[in-house]
Structure 1
Amino acid sequence: MAVGRLMFMAGLAGLGATAMAPVAHAAGPVTRAKVALTGPDGRQLGDAKLRDTPSGLEVTVRGRGLPPGPHGLHLHMVGRCLAPDFASAGGHWNPTGHAHGRDNPRGAHAGDLPNLSIDADGRGRLRFVVPGARLIGSGGLLDEDGGALVIHAGPDDYRTDPSGNSGGRIACGVVLPG
Structure 2
Amino acid sequence: MEQSNGPIQQPLRAASADPGFIPGLTGAASPFKDAVPGRPVQDAPEETVRDAVPETEAETEVEAAAEVEAEAEADAEDVARPAPGDGPSFEAADRRGRIVADAEGVRLSYDEEACEFRWDELAAVESEKGRFGKRFTVTVHTPDRRWYPIEIIAPDRGHIAGWEAELDAVLDAYFDEAS
Q: Scaled by the length of structure 2, what TM-score is found? A: 0.23
**Larger RCO (alpha carbons 8 Å, 6+ apart):** 1
User: Which structure's CA Rg is the greater one?
Assistant: 2
**More helix as a share of residues:** 2
Q: Scaled by the length of structure 1, what TM-score is found? A: 0.23
